[in-house]
Structures are given as C-alpha cells and as structure tokens.
C-alpha cells in the first residue's frame, strides 16, 4: 500500500451520517477544484460551499491535498463502474465499445469540472494521475482480451489498443463536452467507432 493510500483510509467515516457529510465535502471540492483549480481553492472555500465548519473538514480529510487525491480516485472508480455497467448491456464487443465511449462522454458532459481535476492532478500528485489512467487502461485492456478470446475482435496488443481507445474518448470529451459545452452528435460517435472498428487503411 502506498503512503497516501494508507493515509486516505484512516479517516473514512463508518456511519451513514458521516458518509453523507463526507459526500457533501467531496461534492463541494469538485465544484471548487473544477471551477477554480487546485491552488486557488482552499479548505475554507470548500467547507463554506458544503455548509460545514472547518473543524468538521479535518474529521474526514487531513488537508486540501488529501481531499483532492480522494476526489481523483473516486472519479476514476465511478467512471469505471459506469462503463462496466454500460458494457454489460451490449450484445457484442463493438457495441460495448460504443456504449463505453458514450458513457465516458455523458460523464464528462455531466461533470466537466472532473476532467479539469484529473488533468491538473498530474501537477498536484503525479502518482494518482498515473494511477487513474493505468486503472482505466487495465479495465479496457481486459475487455479487449476477452473479446479477442471470444472471437469478437482481432488479436493484438490489448494494452496498446486500450491506451489508443482511451485517447479517442479523452480528446472527444475535451473538444465537445469541455470546450463546446455539449454532447457530440451521433455522427461523431459513428465516425469514432468506424475508426475503432476498421481503422483508416484503404483495405480495412
């Protein structure tokens, strides 16, 4: 266990009321970090937004850095769960990839500040930035390997393909959801899936 992982588990509340307060603080932190960035945000601004005292904050998190790292981890966990749940509804792997991409874009559109938080985490805590992407890539690669074994996709380097597919989703999320403030049209998803399924070679 990494030092910061151990630190993050020490103060997790065990009661329903405690968890509700913790969720309020994380929601407020999402708004603060997503809107202002890490450095301009403060513990006092987070607690004011959450409607709790600063003393309450320190019952759940030791510092601004700790709640930021916790938030990045929770973003990653929530996104992976949503993508897995969407993929379970698919008839085959290609449909699962499409549903996964749509889920990623929906998530980015609903929470644009989260993408900014993940981006900034590379400068706040590079280890958690890498962890976020590596866990997402592993989930994607495992799915690709399973699909190849079932004969639903061509064999190949699942790890490299996972990072490439992630790159497509990340770039589309920035262009449409973050910069234009809307979801892309279905034809954008169609074009992305054409690239995933057939590539750009003339004989594909």
Residue-wise pLDDT tens digits, 133-192: 999 999 999 999 999 999 998 899 999 999 999 999 999 999 999 999 999 999 999 999
What is the rounded distance in angstroms from the CA atom of residue 196 to the CA atom of residue 97?
A: 9
In this prediction the pTM is 0.87
- What's the pLDDT score for residue 58? 94
Residue 190: closest CA among 102, 75, 103, 121: 102
Please report, for the domain that includes residue 153, its CATH number: 1.10.357.10
% of the chain with per-residue pLDDT over 70: 92
Q: How far apart are CA 20 and CA 203, in angstroms?
A: 55
Q: What is the pLDDT of residue 8?
A: 45
Q: Is 81 inside a domain boundary?
A: yes
Task: Report yes or no on 203 lying in a domain.
Answer: no
Asked, for residue 129, whether it belongs to a domain, the answer is yes
**75 inside domain:** yes
Look up the domain containing 73 and give its range: 3-198
- Tell me the per-residue pLDDT of 23-55, one tens digit each, with 9 for 90 and over: 999 999 999 999 999 999 999 999 999 999 999
Backbone torsion region of residue 37, taken as left when φ is above 0, otherwise alpha when ψ lies between -120 and 50, otherwise beta = left
Q: Is residue 36 part of a domain?
A: yes
- Report the domain count for the chain: 1
Cα within 13 Å of Cα(120), Cβ side = 21
Question: Is 125 in a helix, a strand, or coil?
Answer: coil
How long, in residues, is the chain? 204
140 part of a folded domain: yes
CB 101 within 8 A of CB 193: yes
- Give the relative orientation of helices 16-36 and 64-87 as an angle to the nearest 10 degrees: 100
**Strand boundaries in 23-84, DSSP class E:** none
- Has residue 189 been placed in a domain? yes
pLDDT above 60 (res 1): no
């Amino acid at each position: 266990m990494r030092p910061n992982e151990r630190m993050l588990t020490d103060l997790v509340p065990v009661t329903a009321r405690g968890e509700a307060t913790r969720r309020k603080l994380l929601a407020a932190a999402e708004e603060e970090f997503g809107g202002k960035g890490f450095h301009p945000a403060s513990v006092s601004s987070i607690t004011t937004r959450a409607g709790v005292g600063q003393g309450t904050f320190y019952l759940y998190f030791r510092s601004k850095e700790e709640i930021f790292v916790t938030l990045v981890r929770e973003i990653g966990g929530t996104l992976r769960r949503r993508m897995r749940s969407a993929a379970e509804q698919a008839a085959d792997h290609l449909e699962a990839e499409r549903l996964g991409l749509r889920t990623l874009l929906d998530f980015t559109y609903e929470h644009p500040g989260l993408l900014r938080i993940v981006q900034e985490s590379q400068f706040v805590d590079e280890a958690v930035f890498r962890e976020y992407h590596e866990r997402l890539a592993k989930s994607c690669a495992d799915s690709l390997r399973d699909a190849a074994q079932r004969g639903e996709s061509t064999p190949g380097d699942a790890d490299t393909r996972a990072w490439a597919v992630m790159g497509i989703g990340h770039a589309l999320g920035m262009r449409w959801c973050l910069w234009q403030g809307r979801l892309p049209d279905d034809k954008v998803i169609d074009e992305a899936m054409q690239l995933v399924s057939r590539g750009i070679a003339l004989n594909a």
